[in-house]
Amino acid sequence: MSIAVFVDGQEGTTGLKLNDYLCKFPDIELLKIDPAKRKDPAARSLLLNEADIAFLCLPDDAARQSVSLVTNPKTKIINSSTAFRTDPSWVYGLPELKGQRDRIRSAARVSVPGCHATGFILSIRPLVEAGLLPPDYPIACHSVSGYSGAGKSKIEMYENEDLAAEKKLNVPRHYALLHNHKHLPEMRVFSGLAHEPEFTPIIARYAQGSAVVVPLAARYLNQTASAQQVHETLAAYYEGEPFVRVMPFESDAALDDGYFKITELNNTNRLELFVYGDNSHIKIVSRFDNLGKGAAGAAVQNMNLMLGYDEQRGLV
């Protein structure tokens, strides 16, 4: 028996990547919309309600509209926009958090985490749960990501040599400096922190791959934990996880003459966590593909759980 799947927003970056993943599933029937009708509510409604699983790869307002069009109680929805990530009636699609995998399996509405939020939450949540990191710690982080996560218009801008030269896009650019990044609410809620982090995202002129860095001062942690203790806590929390791996402490394998290699996990659904530091200074670095574990790969991982498939199916 085939599973009917509709990707609402199939022409966007995440939608196209999803299509690549889903084509590997012989028992999935991909429902396609006429490109000329992709913004037509009636045409979208027909396919949304025909689908067993509907992926929403849309801006927030369009995603809300799509949800309002679904009247078939059997249609399960996986949303990749920010719209419902902190909505308590939706399940947050980060299976590696304790207890979350079972919630996803029984859910009809799942929100895929944001790419920056994925790296941040997986770095921080275990430390809060273990009591090492106080919930009111004044935490900061920065994230470097390829331009593919910025959407179709930005991709076209970065890949146009003349426009890139005119706008001086050859250097990394900080953004959301007014503390208005759309991932901030979920970063607070699902990390277990009392306050939003001081977050600085950076976009650079390469296609894909992310590194989220969280510095910690050991003297402000509970129990004055060392970098080694932080590493041991993360390693214990993610032991046995198929897609999240805590790398050996202060691993030189990720460095190229001292420089961190961001793009090693491109085109995978994997995320690696590194811990560097000593008894005073600690840095946690998460590395992943912003289009994989940070978007489309995570969406497929959630779909597998919701359908009762092997969680790794189509992703390894």
- Supply the DSSP symbol for 187: H
Q: Is 67 exposed, middle or buried (0-12, 13-18, 19+ CB in 10 A)?
A: middle
Residue for token pair 């390829």: 146
Phi, psi of 225 (to 5 degrees): -65, 145
- 185-206 burial: b if 16+ Cβ within 10 Å, else e: ebbbbbbbbeebbebbbebbeb
Q: Spell out where 218-288 has E strands.
A: 244-246, 255-256, 259-260, 271-277, 281-288
- The C-alpha angle with vertex 270 and arms to 175 and 6, in degrees rounded to 5, equals 80
Which one of 23, 57, 115, 141 is the catalytic residue? 115
HSE-CB of 255 using CA atoms within 13 angstroms: 12
CA dihedral 311, 89, 124, 260 (to 10 degrees): 60
Strand 173-174 relative to strand 259-260, pairing: unpaired
Catalytic site includes residue 115:
yes
User: What distance in Å separates the CA atoms of residue 306 and residue 271, rounded to the nearest whole number?
Assistant: 21
- E strand or H helix at 201, and its extent? strand 198-204
- Supply the DSSP symbol for 295: I
Which residues have a Cβ under 8 Å from the Cβ of 78 and sit 6 or more positions away?
A: 53, 54, 55, 56, 93, 110, 111, 112, 299, 302, 303, 306
Active site residues: 115
